[in-house]
Structure 1
Amino acid sequence: MAHQVAVIWEGPVLFTRLFEECGHTCELVTPHLLAAPFFKRRFHGVVIPAGFAAPGHTSILAALRAISPRIKRFVSEGGTVLAFGAGTDMSHAYDWLPVPITYRYGFAKMQLAINEGHTSASILEDGADEVSIDGILDNITGISDGQVILEAPSGPVMVQITYGSGRIIIASLHEYPSHRFVREFCAGGGEGLL
């Protein structure tokens, strides 16, 4: 079954091809479209690519902050948000989410501890030895329904948080997710109105 996925970005990105190859129907949602009062769509998943907070790169962050109540409703209703690394030195880059996550920016390539029992651990390709990350996620311990999926020696790099009927997945990986993960990331979940 194809799932309806929104990719939030300013223009077409190759990243959408990966989701389409894995059986999802993708819709590019630009910041201008998000700001339009008539824009309301039901999606199973919302994807925010890496680098969304980099000011010289994109203006996505301002749009995400402006629609934070809609994102909260979307997840509460059963949708899945998949956000990648912010890509800039901004600790509050995830303040548009309904959970308190802070971010420590920094590129590195390293081995990660993997929560093997969690289905979202499939984000890494089998046999991946070292992976690139662009930051560490903090404050996860204060979230009752949060789980660390991948962890660097200095802290979490991927977390999954249950919120209402949906979930939030944040991964500061600076690599493409595996096909298996993409196929399954919003399977079995609900949908929400964005």
Structure 2
Amino acid sequence: MITTPRLQLLPCRPEHFAAMLQPDLPALAQLLHVEPDIDWLQQDLVWEVVSQAAQFLTEHPEAAHWWLYFFIHAEYQQVVGVGGFKGPPTQGTVELGYSIAPHFRQQGYATEATRGMLQFAFDHPEILQVLAHTLPGINYSTQVLAKTGFTFQQVIEDPEDGLVWQWRLLKPDYSV
């Protein structure tokens, strides 16, 4: 688990994926010990990806910390977002991403979760850089990335999302 001042970033385990694949999301809420107001997850998560991620994690349990996390508000026990890494490190690089529940946006949770994930990543000696992708244009995600030290690198073509902006933070440039 990754902890920040207000959040607990809980890694998604196979039993969480199994609960997410059920039509009854309150089962997931019960498993996470959080308020059952998590219906927004059905809109934010691509369920085909959840199924593939569940299969991957079953086959590679060592990758759990480089995968999906639930962002749980420590005091209110509510899921305020999800995010994490897009797989284990490759050649010293991990990519992170996140999504904040609509009614928790613009309250600093994305920035706080990103800082927690960066600290986690850079605590691993093999991690030399962290990448992130955003939709093109200035938006809340680009502001979060800039605020946490990332710099814009280039526009790239993502096979699923089309044109995206690539951001990078090098380990020597990172400071808490």
Pairwise TM-score range, normalised by the shorter structure: 0.3 to 0.5
Give the structure, 1 or 2, with the largest relative contact order (CA under 8 Å, sep 6 or more).
1
TM-score w.r.t. the length of structure 1 is 0.34
TM-score w.r.t. the length of structure 2 is 0.36
